[in-house]
Amino acid sequence: MKRSSLISTMAAAILGLSGVAHAQFVYPSFTVNATSQRSTITLSGNLIPPLSFNSYQVSIDWSTATFQNGISSGARFWITDRTPSFFGFPIGTIVYVESGPAPNSAPNTTARSLLWTGSLRQTYVGGTPIFLTIQQTPGLGATFANFRVQLNTSAPTNDTPAAPTEIPAPSSFPAVTPAQAMLGASVSTAGEPAMCEPAVRTVWYRFTPTETADYTFETCAGAAPLNNVNHTVAAIFSPTGERLACSGSTCGTRSSVTSTMQAGVGYLVAVGRSVAGDLPITENSYQLAITRTAIPPTTPNIGCRADIVDIGGLPPGDGRVTADDYIAFFNNFATGVQICDLTDVGGQGDPDGLVTADDFVFFLNAFSQGCP
């Protein structure tokens, strides 16, 4: 294998820590001008702190270059614990990442930035050997500039419904959640409630409304401007995992879901991506917009309360409001028979034990409405 240049001496690594759960190891950027189909770079595992890493991000500025052997029209890479030979990787090689074709590169002959993110196939522990192998296909000749490798110790904390991120009850609506980086979100949904269409990289939230109302959660561009992930699927689940609402591609390639939520109940809200594979470089974070619509009060039909007797004139009612009810009411109202007690003294509520003029007026209004 030939390598015309490797601009970097793999200087000391950068380690940014915001608590062990979010440790990131970042290699300084380097450039590779490759004139063979496959090139391998040692990532100096002894420089990496002895933490357990389980997700990655690899980004490059990629372009074809005309050398003596032709032009490349694709890019892919592997991260392993051994270097490959002419025949491939030795038996027993641990393949932490096999990228597949770049998500937005092949085939093309124009320069562009590429980004791969995802979970490692198995945990990598810093301090042990690690290698990056680059392949350009099908031709020979490409420049991999500003090559950047980042390893992370964990997926997002709300990667599963077992640990959803709490959305505080907004003080006003519409409201938006902070944008959340998708780096390392799992492509596995094993054990998770099913969305309405296959989705990967799901992240989970819990929302407990303070008011019973219809709530809408959306990733649409206008409502959630910091969301830049397309092909999203959004869903609302009950606390027990029953899917209440779900949609994808309701606003372009993004989604919006609405469900009636009861005050004081903790609902689960999930967002995922319907397209498998690595995220393009321009798609890396989710944001949810939340709106609330009050449920209009229902006006009960009072007509059925005029059904006081059956067709023969005896109580109770028979499900119909007819002339028999009219005759029975007026025959019994003057003597205060209890079947004429239909409302309270204010004419707004249930029977109150008194037969008054309010009941008379109430009966006339109810009789005119009848049972639906």
Choose the weakest-confidence range: 75-84, 138-147, 190-199. Answer: 138-147
Average pLDDT over residues 316-333: 91
- Residue 48 CB contacts under 8 Å (≥ 6 apart), including other chains: 13, 25, 126, 127, 130, 151
**Residue 45 pLDDT:** 66
Nearest CA-CA partner of 268 in 365, 162, 148? 162
CA–CA separation, 281 vs 257, rounded Å? 27
**Residue 286 pLDDT:** 86
**21 burial class (0-12, 13-18, 19+ CB within 10 angstroms)?**
exposed
**Residue 36 pLDDT:** 66
Strand partners, 124: 53
CA–CA separation, 159 vs 199, rounded Å? 13
C-alpha 97: how far from chain center: 25
- State yes or no: pLDDT of 245 exceeds 90: yes
- With a pLDDT cut of 70, the percent of the chain lying above it is 82
**Residue 239 pLDDT:** 95
Task: Please check whether residue 151 is in contact with residue 112, taking contact to mean a CB–CB distance below 8 angstroms.
Answer: no
Candidate CATH numbers 3.90.1690, 3.30.70, 1.20.1340, 2.60.120; the one for domain 5-152: 2.60.120
- Please report, to the nearest 10 degrees, the dihedral formed by the alpha carbons of residues 15, 16, 18, 19 taken in order: 0
**Residue 268 pLDDT:** 98
- State yes or no: pLDDT of 330 exceeds 90: yes
Q: Is 357 left (phi over 0), alpha (psi -120 to 50) or beta?
A: alpha
- With a pLDDT cut of 90, the percent of the chain lying above it is 40
Nearest CA-CA partner of 199 in 252, 271, 267? 271
Task: Please check whether residue 209 is in contact with residue 170, taking contact to mean a CB–CB distance below 8 angstroms.
Answer: no
List the Cα angle 45/50/51 in 5-degree steps.
115
State which amino acid sits at residue 279.
L
**242 burial class (0-12, 13-18, 19+ CB within 10 angstroms)?**
exposed
**Residue 106 pLDDT:** 47
- State yes or no: pLDDT of 21 exceeds 60: no
Helices (H) and strands (E) in the chain, counts: 2, 22
**What would the pLDDT profile of 261-315 be if each residue is shown by its tens digit?**
999 999 999 999 998 776 665 777 889 999 999 988 777 778 888 999 988 888 8
**E strand or H helix that includes residue 324:** helix 323-333
The highest-level CATH class for domain 165-293 is: mainly beta
Average pLDDT over residues 90-95: 93
Task: Tell which wins on pLDDT, 338 or 6.
Answer: 338
CA–CA separation, 342 vs 306, rounded Å? 8
Q: Is 284 left (phi over 0), alpha (psi -120 to 50) or beta?
A: alpha
Confidence of residue 127 (pLDDT cuts 50, 70, 90): confident
**What would the pLDDT profile of 191-230 be if each residue is shown by its tens digit?**
899 999 999 889 999 999 999 999 999 999 999 998 989 9
**Residue 23 pLDDT:** 54
What are the backbone angles phi and psi of residue 124, rounded to the nearest 5°? -105, 130
**Residue 137 pLDDT:** 64
**Residue 68 pLDDT:** 40
CA–CA separation, 151 vs 135, rounded Å? 20
CA–CA separation, 235 vs 245, rounded Å? 5
Average pLDDT over residues 343-366: 90
- State yes or no: pLDDT of 13 exceeds 60: no
**Residue 51 pLDDT:** 78
Which residues of the chain are in CATH 2.60.120.1050 domains? 165-293
**Residue 284 pLDDT:** 72
**What would the pLDDT profile of 31-47 be if each residue is shown by its tens digit?**
777 666 777 888 876 67
